[in-house]
Amino acid sequence: GLALASLDMFESGAFSADAGNPLRADATKLKQLTVADLERGFQVGPDNPLVGLEGRVALLRRLGEVVAAKPEIFGAKDSPRPGGLFDQLATDAIGTRIQAADILQQVLLQLGQIWPSRLTLQGIALGDCWRHASVVTDDATTGLVPLHKLSQWLSYSLIEPLQRAGLEVADIDGLTGLAEYRNGGLFVDGGVLLLRDPADAGRAHAVDSPLVVEWRALTVALLDRLAELIRQRTGQTPEQLPLARILEGGSWAAGRKLAFARRPDGSPPLTIISDGTVF
C-alpha cells in the first residue's frame, strides 16, 4: 500500500518542482514537503492511521537538503535530485558491472546524513548502528553493531532499476539480511529465539536497548543460515536463489503470517519504541 501510494504521488508530480515535468523528484520540492502532503498521498485519517508520519516527512525533507547540498553528486546532469545517484553509480561501474556492496557504499556515503543518528565516530554520523557489549574489537569500532536496515533495503530496491538501465549488478549476496521486525519476528514467533526474561514480552523497548540490538543482529545472522537451509531443500545455488529473493518472498511474508496467527493485529512479538526511521 505504501509503495503504490508513493508511486501515485510520484506520478501526480508530488515530488517535482516543475509542473511541466511531473515524473521526477527534485531537491527543491522534497525540502518543501509537509505532513499534510503525505496525509493526502497516503490517505491517512482516523480510520487509516500511519505510524511515524512526522518522521517520514522529516526524512524526505532531509533527503532534499542532503541532495541540494551535493550538486557535484546529485546535480551533475540536471538540477539536484535523488536520481543523480545513478550517474555516480554508473561512474563507479567497471564497464557496465557494479557490485551490490558498492551500491550500499554509495547510499551510505551520499545519503547517510538523512537518517537520525545517535552515534558518531570520528565526526561521522553512523546512522543505523548501535552498541552491544558482546562486540569487542581492538580499535574504535569496539561495541558497534552496524545494521543499516533502511539503507540496505534501498540498495536492494535499486538493483532492478539499475539492471533495467543497463548495469549488471554482481554479488547480490554481498548485502545482508534486513534487521527488521517481520524477519526478526519470524525467529521469535517460530521459537528459534527465546527471551531470557519472559517478562520482556510485555515491556516496551527502545531501539538502542541491548535486547533490541541483539535481536536485530541475531536476525541478520540467522537469515544467512535460513538461506542455506532453503537452498539445500530446493536444490538451488546462491546465484539461483540469492538472499534478496528469500527475504522478499519467504522470511518477510512468513514473519507476517506468523504474527497475525499469534496476535490479531499482526504486531511484532516485541514492542519497540520507534519513530518510524529505524523499522
DSSP 136: -
Answer whether residue 1 shows pLDDT above 90: no
pLDDT tens, residue by residue, 116-162: 778 989 888 898 999 999 999 999 999 999 999 999 999 999 999 99
pTM of the model: 0.88
pLDDT tens, residue by residue, 154-207: 999 999 999 999 999 999 999 999 999 999 999 999 999 999 999 999 999 999
Mean pLDDT of 214-231: 97
Bridge partners (DSSP) of residue 97 are 94, 168
DSSP 124: E
- 5 band by pLDDT with thresholds 50, 70 and 90: very high
Report the amino acid identity of residue 3.
Answer: A
Mean pLDDT of 101-105: 95
- 27 band by pLDDT with thresholds 50, 70 and 90: very high
Q: Please tell me the distance from the alpha carbon of residue 241 to that of residue 156, in angstroms, as a whole number.
A: 14
pLDDT tens, residue by residue, 62-102: 999 999 999 999 998 889 999 999 999 998 899 999 999 99
Report the amino acid identity of residue 10.
Answer: F
DSSP string, 83-120: THHHHHHHHHSBTTEEEHHHHHHHHHHHHGGGS--S-E
Residue 193: left (phi > 0), alpha (psi -120 to 50), or beta? beta
Q: Please tell me the distance from the alpha carbon of residue 81 to that of residue 255, in angstroms, as a whole number.
A: 35
